[in-house]
Amino acid sequence: MPVEWAGSGPGLLVTIDRGGGAGLRTQLEEQLRTAIRAGRLAANEPLPSSRELARALGLSRGLVQDCYAQLQAEGYLTSRPGSATRVAAGVVSPHEGPAPEKSSAERVRHPVADFQHGVPDLGLAPREEWAWAVQKTLRTAPNAAFDYGEAVGVRALREVLASYLGRVRAVAAGPDDLIVCAGMQQALGLVVGALAAAGVRSLAFEDPGSGANVTDLTAAAGIAAVPVTVDESGLDVGALARSGAGAVFVTPAHQWPTGVVLTGPRRQALIAWSRATGGVIVEDDYDAEFRYDRDPVGSLQGLAPDCVISLGTVSKSLAPALRLGWIVAPPRLHPALARGKWRADRGSPGLDQLALAALLESGRYDRHLRRVRAEYAARRETLIAALHRHAPRLAVTGLAAGFHAILHLPPGTDDAAAVERAVIEAAAARGVGLYGMAKMHAQAVPPKPRLIVGFGNTSRSAIEAGIEAIADLLNPPLRRG
Ligand SMILES: Cc1ncc(COP(=O)(O)O)c(C=O)c1O
């Protein structure tokens, strides 16, 4: 039944389907959201009163009031006592939303495509689900939830997370093994501090990898950072043993940045190293949510909870801006980690933690992941197809999980860094942003020029156009004779 209202603002067509599957309130909310996002209801435009709209649509006034309250909570509408409910200023479509400054600057520099890595699609951030979870939290949380909480995190979240990680990542942990923190970055800082307090003098890291970040954190804690080479099977455990390091930071699910998955034998060797030397394994279980054409590989922590500290984050699965992550650690490290977290900030924001717990518990987190995984899988296919079409002889690796690939460029006569730089500069001149592997190395750069091509925040059409625009830069020259 299509109904038009004619209130104080302009008329707007709203269709309420009484025979359909969706509830009446859901239909009304969704249509108002869509109208606001599409600009059909402009900022500051007054909405009809709840009484007026209810009468026009044949709905109860309470239902319309609830709908307005929900959209206010989500930031679509505003209201002041004694004046009409209005469309809030600054609402943007989740898919057309403004990107952060860095990305918009990148877009200006790279109008065809920017293959930046490390960022999920910010347009796919679950705005509505998060608004639902925050609103539910505000409605149902007891007053005590507004106080300082436990520094190690709100118990309700730790309980839900422990069971979620057990189910999805084969992590062996109960709520008391978890510390909630501000993303992987704070997690690693706290872990480095706790390891230093436990007498660890050096932390090994993967090379290529996050060397600059690790070195920064270890320097602050007064311990050494030691690079250990990564090969086609992942971290070279023999080299780790020779390094004498007391702990190692690894990305087994999808090595950053090569995209290699740590093989079964290497996992076993790493755990054997830990058991033999007492070395601590710090696992960044990063990108594990996004795997495509291989069987799921559980976390290392699940194999050896006594040897492994596992770090997780919602930065890729939901959005980096939420700054929520966790540490799963053996009990012996808990007091130092809890003290570090207290010292840093007295605990992560409690209401956000409850909202994350609500998302996980309600199944919305899983549903969101299924949705975005399908989109990233489609982008990955687009990238593979575009490379196949435009640069068929190029070697591509690292695509088992996550949202970046490694392109192995034809070696030039110059060193790898110079070859990468030349391709990056030529691509930039054509409006395509590319990023090289050489600068991810801490030790001597091997003579293999490679590009890290991110597709998390790059649309399918941009992927296609970007690869087409740089095809000749990627193709190895045909050998004569
Ligand atoms: C290897 C790796 N792990 C995890 C993250 C996520 O960090 P955070 O949770 O602090 O946002 C990043 C961010 O770029 C990363 O490069």
Could you give the angle at which helices 334-345 and 183-197 cross, rounded to 10 degrees? 130
Who's near 226: CB < 8 A, 6+ residues apart?
202, 203, 204, 205, 243, 244, 245
In our burial notation (b when 16+ CB lie closer than 10 A, e otherwise), range 50-63 reads bebbbebbebeeeb
Task: Quickly count: other Cβ atoms within 10 Å of residue 12's Cβ.
Answer: 19
- SS3 label, residue 205: strand
Task: Quickly count: other Cβ atoms within 10 Å of residue 346's Cβ.
Answer: 11
Which of 179, 184, 206, 435 has the most ligand 1 atoms within 8 A of CB, as the residue to mutate?
Answer: 184
Asked whether 188 and 282 are in contact (CB, 8 A), the reply is yes
- How many residues are recorded in the chain? 481
Res 480: pLDDT: 47
The residue whose C-alpha atom lies closest to atom 7 belonging to ligand 1 is 184
* Residue 213 phi, psi dihedral angles, 5° rounding: -65, -45
- What's the gap in Å between 39 CA and the centre of ligand 1? 35
- What's the gap in Å between 50 CA and the centre of ligand 1? 45
Atom of ligand 1 nearest to the CA of 320: 11
305/350 Cα distance (integer angstroms): 27
Task: Quickly count: other Cβ atoms within 10 Å of residue 96's Cβ.
Answer: 10
Place of tokens 């030790």: 443
The residue whose C-alpha atom lies closest to atom 3 belonging to ligand 1 is 286
The dihedral built from the CA positions of residue 247, 248, 253 and 256, taken in this order, carries a sign that is positive
- Prior bond to 296 cis, omega within 30? no
Asked whether 211 and 444 are in contact (CB, 8 A), the reply is no
Who's near 334: CB < 8 A, 6+ residues apart?
152, 176, 177, 179
State the DSSP string of 239-307.
Answer: HHHHHT-SEEEE--SS-TTT-PPPPHHHHHHHHHHHHHH-PEEEEE-TTTT-B-SS-----HHHH-TTT
Task: Quickly count: other Cβ atoms within 10 Å of residue 130's Cβ.
Answer: 21
What order do you get walking across the sheet with 395-397 strand by strand? 395-397, 404-408, 450-454
Asked whether 151 and 347 are in contact (CB, 8 A), the reply is yes
Q: Where are the alpha helices (DSSP H) in 38-141?
A: 50-57, 61-73, 101-109, 127-140
Torsion angle defined by CA atoms of residues 138, 142, 146 and 151, in that order, rounded to the nearest 10 degrees = -110
Res 29: pLDDT: 84
Radius of gyration of the chain (CA): 25
The dihedral built from the CA positions of residue 475, 476, 477 and 479, taken in this order, carries a sign that is negative
- What's the gap in Å between 125 CA and the centre of ligand 1? 16
- The tens digit of pLDDT for each residue in 74-93 reads 778 888 877 888 888 777 55
Q: How far is CA 344 from CA 157, 182, 221, in A?
A: 20, 10, 14
* CA-closest candidate to residue 315, choices 463, 118, 31: 118
> Residues of the chain whose pLDDT is less than 70?
1-13, 20-21, 38, 92-107, 293-295, 476-481
Res 294: pLDDT: 62
Pocket of ligand 1 from Cβ distances under 6 Å: 118, 183-185, 210, 251, 256, 284, 286, 313, 315, 320, 325
Biggest CA pair distance of the chain: 85
Res 358: pLDDT: 98
The residue whose C-alpha atom lies closest to atom 15 belonging to ligand 1 is 118
Asked whether 109 and 433 are in contact (CB, 8 A), the reply is yes
- All structural domains of the chain: 2-87 (1.10.10.10), 101-120+367-474 (3.90.1150.10), 143-362 (3.40.640.10)
The residue whose C-alpha atom lies closest to atom 1 belonging to ligand 1 is 256
Give the pTM. 0.78
